Amino acid sequence: MFTVDNTLTALKAFASELQEHKAYLSDLDTPIGDGDHGFNMSRGAVALEEALNEENFENVSDIFKTAAKTFMSQIGGASGPLYGTAMLEMAKASQETAEPAPIIEAGLKGIQKRGQAITGDKTMIDVWEPVVEAIQKQEISEALIDEAVQATEPLRAKKGRASYLGDRSVGHIDPGAMSSGYLFKVMLKAGVFDE
Amino acid sequence: MKKIINTTDQILDQMVDGIALANQEIVERLPETNVIKQKDISQQVALVSGGGSGHEPAHAGFVGDGMLQAAVCGQVFTSPTSDQVYEAIKAVDQGEGVLLIIKNYSGDIMNFEMAMDLAEMDDIQVGKVIVDDDISVEDSEFTQGKRGVAGTILVHKILGAAARSGKTLDELVTLGEQLVQDVKTIGVALSGATVPEVGKPGFVLEEDELEFGVGIHGEAGYRREKMQSSHDIALEMLEKLKQAFDWQAGDQYGILVNGMGATPLMEQYIFYNDVHQKLSEEGLDLAFSKVGNYMTSLDMAGLSLTLIKLNEDYLAYLNEAVDTAAW
């Protein structure tokens, strides 16, 4: 269940994870992208932390809306619109429900619509989709998230800059999948998926 | 890494100020944004382009009468955010509509299209042309499609002149879509580029290696080989272009040799000489030429070769005078 408290805790923790791992995320992006995923996400994370500390939030939707605006206006590249759209759709869905499955599923649909990628293309969707399924079945766990992130390693990229590498994109974890993994782990830790 | 910068987090801001200050007769910085806009815009469809920084003089260097009315500068090698593009659109619209010229990268497309949606909610007419001139990558459903690279500059020039001549937004979109089919580019790298925040090159080529088909952010190319002469490099690249265009003797073409940032003009002219000779032997009528750094990739060594299949209109538009810092 998303509450104001656990949503704020999770997103603040997401912001610090992104800053802490910015070099690692950029390293993942170097062989298959242009090496800046960590720096871009961390620019958004710094702004997100500031924005979340500034306001007094009365509902979950406003928190996601703030995250959406911050990511869209600070990150750029493909990650800004993709994370921004996900947060925006989650803001809309959380006006109707507090249940995590439909909210995160709305985020997934936003990413799919914006990025035109499908499962197996070696993108963040390869983490979002199994996570949504696991939440629905109440089987979400840290191990499952890790597994989904790792499962992008043997894939051949079909979207984004990594797609130009063809077979040479095999053997690298997708950086967007990794940052998405951080997001779901902090949600898990904050108790979002508890009954 | 050895670069003339202050701190890595201020690169964009300080570069944009520098561009505005150095060209203050022509352009100005749109306050609170990383947008460089033309100072006095005439009544016409306004052209907006942009993308990640690190490609200077693209795109801000092509802002001015007869080319772009605004360029949106993103972080290094990262497309600008949609709100920045939206601000640019609002600032240059003269009531005739705005044409976005976008390079075919997923980030650029997403951010520019989101800005387009925002502007259309304000009742601003917005059209787009997506440039995908890089023939070194496959245009298949298993990739992002062909990339937009140096040929984009020729698209800016031709559409810029056409917009100034009074063409409508719809006419410009149609012209742009045709034009993109007639412009093709292929690149070669001798060394990788170092993004300042990353601090090390995106890829490493040995002293005696080169790579054909690299993108403007150091994306991998299609083949890595031992270093070769300018003549042989030209032959390889022209062979690819010939297959893509299927030209016949007597056809009229224009040439753009573009430096990637760390290749001296001397080498670019030597390469141009090889290209010109070879194409003349093929019987092509070479009616337009440009050599220099137009779409760079920070400190990457290498160059790209763009050919445009000309017609009378394109040629006239290319030859029109403009008032920009870098054309």
The predicted structure's pLDDT at residue B142: 65
What pLDDT is stored for residue A195 in this prediction?
74
| Per-residue confidence (pLDDT) for residue B140, from 0 to 100 | 62
pLDDT above 70 covers what percent of chain B?
99
Peptide bond into B57 cis (omega under 30): yes
pLDDT of residue B219: 82
Q: CB contact, 8 Å: B219 with chain A?
A: yes
**Confidence grade of residue B34 (pLDDT, cut at 50, 70, 90):** very high
pLDDT computed for residue A136 by the predictor: 96
pLDDT at A34 over 80: no
A26 CA to centre of own chain: 15
Which chain B residues touch A36 with a CB distance below 8 Å? 75-78, 195, 197-198
B59 among known catalytic residues? no
Cβ distance A77 to B218 less than 8 Å, yes or no, reads no
**Mean pLDDT to the nearest integer, A103-121:** 94
Annotated active-site residue B156? The verdict is: no
Does residue B208 sit in helix, strand or coil? coil
Long-range contacts (CB closer than 8 Å, 24 or more residues apart) made by B313-318: B314/B158, B314/B179, B314/B182, B314/B254, B315/B252, B315/B254, B315/B287, B315/B288, B316/B161, B317/B157, B317/B158, B317/B160, B317/B161, B317/B162, B318/B154, B318/B157, B318/B158, B318/B161, B318/B254, B318/B288
Residue of B55, B59, B156, B276 with catalytic role: B55
pLDDT at B167 over 90: yes
184-203 in B: which are within 8 Å (CB) of A? Answer: 195, 197-198, 202
Q: What domains can be seen in chain A, in order of their start residue? A: 4-190 (1.25.40.340)
Give the CA-trace dihedral at B292, B294, B300, B302, to 10 degrees. Answer: -40
- B258 backbone dihedrals φ, ψ, rounded to 5°: -120, 125
pLDDT average, residue stretch B240-251: 97
Tens digits of residue pLDDT in B53-81: 999 999 999 999 999 999 999 999 999 99
* Reported confidence tier of residue A165, pLDDT bands at 50, 70, 90: confident
Q: What percent of chain A has pLDDT over 90?
A: 83
Interval B132-154: pLDDT, tens: 999 998 766 667 789 999 999 99
Residues of A in contact with B7 (CB under 8 A): none
For domain B183-319, which CATH number applies: 3.30.1180.20, 3.40.50.620, 2.60.40.420, 3.20.20.100?
3.30.1180.20
Does the predicted interface ipTM exceed a cut of 0.90?
no
Residue B45 has pLDDT above 70, yes or no: yes
Domain boundaries, chain B: 11-181, 183-319
Question: Which architecture characterizes domain B11-181 according to CATH?
Answer: 3-Layer(aba) Sandwich (3.40)
Examine the pLDDT at B96 and tell me if it is beyond 90. yes
Q: Partners of B297 in the beta sheet? A: none
